[in-house]
Each structure stands twice: as structure tokens, then as C-alpha cells.
Amino acid sequence: MLALAKRAWFQTSELKSGRWTSQDNVYLRGKTLGLVGAGNIAAELARLGKAIGMEVLAWTFHPAPERAARLGVTFVSLKEMMSRSDVVSLHVKLTSESRGLIGVEQIGWMKRGAMLINTARGPILDSKALVDALNSGQLGGAGIDVFDAEPIAADHPLLACQQVVLTPHNADQTPEGMELLNAGVVDNVIAFLQGHSRNRVV
């Protein structure tokens, strides 16, 4: 979100190409952050968004007042969240319900020039709709860490879009992040062997 708001990739690319292209950055303070999903990662992004002065809205398959209070967010409908947010970030697991959740209609609800981030799973977001929205100016940018097929094909049209920050499904690839993931695996195995499985995916 920060790299996208600062147009970091675009401006770096312009400088490397010998062009001094000045473009307005996006001031995030006072803007609205919309979260699709309300799990642990979304909760952390909500905390960070509020720390820089953003209002945080969220949509989830399972809203509850106590959950909203715990996260410090306001749960609204998907349409309201998409239409009110300046930045929308996806944080749901890939299931039959979430596959293709964000497509042409949902992107059309967004403010013109808003930014969309996907660090969840590629198939949650319709990639053709994303590319079309970027090229038309409906979206002001996208930050994408996950793709329909990985690695992304060298001729994928998303690679030709300007206002994008793309990473190779490595958003959590830090030594600390990997340590947390590995510890989580061990904890899950121990819990299963002790007869009380946790983090079940059905």
C-alpha cells in the first residue's frame, strides 16, 4: 500500500528509463481503507491503517459486533465497503465462495482512481477485470503479490500496466515471517497429536 501510494515502482522505472516524470503521490492520512476479510492479516493491516490516520471499513462472510469492536473496524456490506474506500485490500482464503469474488461489477463499485491490493490468493480477483480497470483509469493502481498461475507468464498483460507494484508471492518472506510460519506448523501438529486440532480448513 505504501509503495503504491508513493508511486515508487512507476517513478523508479521512469528514472531508470532516463525520464524525470513527476506524478502526485497519494496521501493516505484521512483516506478510507477497506478490508475484504477480517482474519489475522486483515487485523494487522487495520492496526497499521489506523496508525497512519485512515478510517477502516471491513467486509467478511461472518460479521459480528464483538469482532468489529476487537478489530476496531466498521463492518459494512461489500458494495458499501468497495464504494467508500480509497484503498481496498483482499484478505480472504480461497474457497468456492471467494473464487472470483472481486470482478468487473465489484471493481466498478470502486471510486475512480482508488487502489486495489491482493495479497490473499490470485483467483479471488478477476485478473482481466483488474487489467481493464487499470488501463481505463477506473483503478489508480494495484499492488499484487498473488496470481492466477504462478509464476506469472512473461506475456501477462498485467506486466504492461504502469501503476502497479508486483511481487512474486513473497509478502511474508522475511526471516521473522518464515520463523512464525514454521512455528505455526509445529504448533498445529502438536495440537493435532494432542487431540484438539486447530486452524482447520474445510
For residue 143, give the DSSP letter.
E
Residues 118 and 197 in one domain: no
Cα separation, 133 vs 163, whole angstroms = 11
Q: What is the pTM of this model?
A: 0.90
Torsion of CA 17, 152, 176, 70, to 10 degrees: 100
Considering the domain architecture, whether residues 90 and 131 belong to the same structural domain is answered as yes
Grid cell for residue 201: 480448513
For residues 185 and 134, membership in a common domain is answered with no
Domain count across the chain = 2
pLDDT (tens, 9 = 90+) of the chain, 202 residues, equals 999 999 999 999 999 999 999 889 999 999 999 999 999 999 999 999 999 999 999 999 999 999 899 999 999 999 999 999 999 999 999 999 999 999 999 999 999 999 999 999 999 999 999 999 999 999 999 999 999 999 999 999 999 999 999 999 998 788 887 888 888 889 889 988 998 888 776 5
Same domain, 159 and 180: no
Q: How far is CA 145 from the centre of its chain?
A: 8
What is the CATH number for 135? 3.40.50.720
Which amino acids are annotated catalytic? 121, 150, 169
